[in-house]
Structure formats: C-alpha cells, structure tokens
C-alpha cells in the first residue's frame, strides 16, 4: 500500500501549509517552518494526519532529527490531537505549550473525556482515536511574550484568550506573520470570492469569552503583521478588513445567543439563526454557491459554535 502523500502549499519565508485532511480537505492546516536546515511544526491535527506531516518533511529532504519544535497553539484535538504520536517520530523535538494546556497533553485523559462529551464516543473514536501522551521532559511551557529561537529565527508566543484559556499565537517577525490557531477565527478557502477572504469566529466549547476574543484580535493586529496563518485554513492577507469583520461577527454571534437565551428549544433556534446569518453574510460577500454546499462546509462549525455560545450563556457572570 502506498504511503499517503501530503498536499502542500508553499507560502514563502520557509513556510509551508500542509493540508492535514482532518474532517475534509481544506479544513485544517498544519504549518511547517524551515530555517537554516532546522524545522518546526505549528499545530498537528489528529493522529490520522501524522503520516502527511512526515511526508511533507520527506518531500523537503528534512530529516526527522532536524525538527526542533512542535508549537501547539492550544490543546483542542483538531490542533494538538496528533502531537504525541508525531513526537514519537521526531527524536529531538519539543512540544511548546501554554501552561494551562501542558498538563492535558502530558495526561490527555481529561481532554479525551471532554471531546467525547462533545462528539459522542463513536464519532470521537473515528476522528481522534487514542491520544498519545507527551512525556513531560519533552514539553516546553512558555510564558506570555516568551521568545524561542528556531535556528536563529525568533518566534514569540503571545497569550490570547477568548477561544480558549490555554491559547497562544505565534508571532514570526521575520516573515511579518502570526500563526493564529483559532484566535483570529476561521477562513475557509472555499468561501473566498472576488471580494477576498470571508472570516467568522469560532466559539467552540467550552471557554468562549467575548471580551477576551476582541482583545485577542487587537493584540494580533498590534503586531502589524502582513499575513496571518490560520489553522482553518492557512494564509489570509486582507487584515484590517478581516479584523473589523471579526469584531462585528463576535458581537453578532453574542446577539444571536442572547436573542434565543430563553427559547424553549434554544439549541435548534440558535443553530438555524447562525446558519442563516452566515449565509446572509456570505451572499453579501459575493458567494453564489447553493445552500447545500454551504451546509457541507459550515454545519460542523455551526453545531460547535452553538454549543460554545450555550456554554457561555450558562456560565457568564
């Protein structure tokens, strides 16, 4: 049986986007950063994605021993689920984690249980399998604003709550870019139009915090990046407009949640309203494909975002 072949996009400055093929194509990206013969990954997706990440190294003739870091922006499993398995093939790499996230990768039992509650045990098993723990000695726990050198290339970790309390973004000043994880929302390439990229927040369970989500956008923009690399999905460049759209849509998502907070079937009502809202915003953005295509692209996010907003409603002070 042939080994899986990775689908990659060269982005300049030693950065390559790898389609992890998690859930579907063009849903989830890992980014490979190369500098002076050394390498790092930013996010990994799930166990099933690991062969694709290793294939990308092989394509670039980078020995697995030359990978120094696996930067995990946060420990949600579509970003970090495959990290432990990947590290088994990277003898010298360290996993770089937020202090709130590190314990859950060293002992992923609670993380797995939480994901099972979201997806159900059967679907969870299909999507993620068994999460491989990362040995504590292979974890680097960073402070806010801590800098890490990749063969002389400075990478800075900046804490950004809002999506998750264990989230950081990774600033790469040399390429004038930031790897944002989920702190700058989601922008699928299938939704691009002649008007550019379309972006929307991700409010997945369980730590959505609207004020902190706004602060995260501002903190990223204060770095004056020219491009951002999102896990879902890779490079966006129209940053002032996208930042403005994110601020608006965070508020709009909150308004949807508050509108249906006391509805007898608020989950169904919020789900329907959020999908209709995104369709309207996409039509205004120039997107012309049928709603059936949008359901295929957006339904998972609408389901998870509704769960996150409901959690926020139930736990807000």
Domain ranges in the chain?
A: 7-240
In tens digits, the chain (317 residues) has pLDDT values of: 456 678 999 999 999 999 999 999 999 999 999 999 999 999 999 999 999 999 999 999 999 999 999 999 999 999 999 999 999 999 999 999 999 999 999 999 988 888 888 788 888 888 898 999 999 999 999 999 999 999 999 999 999 999 999 999 999 999 999 999 999 999 999 999 999 999 999 998 878 999 999 999 999 999 999 999 999 999 999 999 999 999 999 999 999 999 999 999 999 999 999 999 999 999 999 999 999 999 999 999 999 999 999 999 998 86
Rg (alpha carbons) of the chain, rounded to whole number? 19
| Structural tokens at position 251 | 């508020």
Are β-strands 227-230 and 177-181 bridged in parallel, bridged antiparallel, or unpaired? parallel
DSSP letter for each residue of 128-160 = H-SPPPPPGGGEEEPPTT-EEEETTEEEEEEE-
CATH superfamily of 7-240: Ribonuclease Z/Hydroxyacylglutathione hydrolase-like (3.60.15.10)
């Amino acid at each position: 049986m042939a080994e899986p072949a990775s689908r990659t996009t060269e982005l300049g400055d030693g950065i390559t986007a790898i389609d992890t093929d998690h859930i579907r194509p063009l849903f989830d990206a890992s980014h490979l950063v190369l500098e002076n013969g050394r390498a790092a990954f930013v996010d990994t997706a799930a166990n099933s994605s690991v062969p694709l990440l290793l294939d990308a190294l092989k394509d670039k003739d980078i020995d697995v021993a030359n990978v120094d870091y696996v930067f995990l922006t946060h420990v949600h499993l579509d970003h970090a689920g495959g990290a432990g398995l990947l590290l088994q093939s990277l003898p010298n790499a360290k996993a770089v984690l937020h202090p709130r996230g590190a314990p859950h990768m060293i002992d992923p039992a609670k993380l797995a249980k939480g994901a099972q509650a979201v997806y159900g045990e059967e679907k969870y098993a299909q999507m993620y399998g068994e999460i491989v723990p990362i040995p504590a000695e292979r974890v680097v726990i960073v402070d806010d604003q801590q800098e890490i050198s990749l063969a002389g290339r400075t990478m800075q970790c900046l804490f950004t709550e809002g999506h998750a309390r264990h989230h950081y973004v990774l600033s790469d000043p040399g390429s004038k870019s930031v790897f944002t994880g989920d702190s700058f929302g989601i922008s699928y390439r299938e939704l691009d139009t002649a008007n550019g990229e379309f972006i929307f927040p991700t409010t997945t369970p369980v730590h959505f915090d609207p004020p902190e989500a706004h602060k995260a956008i501002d903190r990223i923009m204060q770095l004056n990046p020219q491009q951002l690399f999102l896990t879902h999905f890779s490079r966006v460049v129209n940053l002032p407009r996208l930042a403005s759209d994110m601020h608006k849509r965070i508020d709009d998502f909150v308004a949807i949640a508050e509108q249906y907070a006391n509805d007898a079937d608020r989950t169904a009502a919020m789900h329907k309203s959020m999908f209709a809202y995104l369709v309207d915003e996409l039509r205004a953005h120039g997107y012309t494909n049928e709603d059936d295509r949008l359901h295929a692209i957006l339904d998972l996010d609408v389901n998870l975002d509704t769960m996150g907003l409901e959690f926020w409603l139930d736990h807000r002070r």
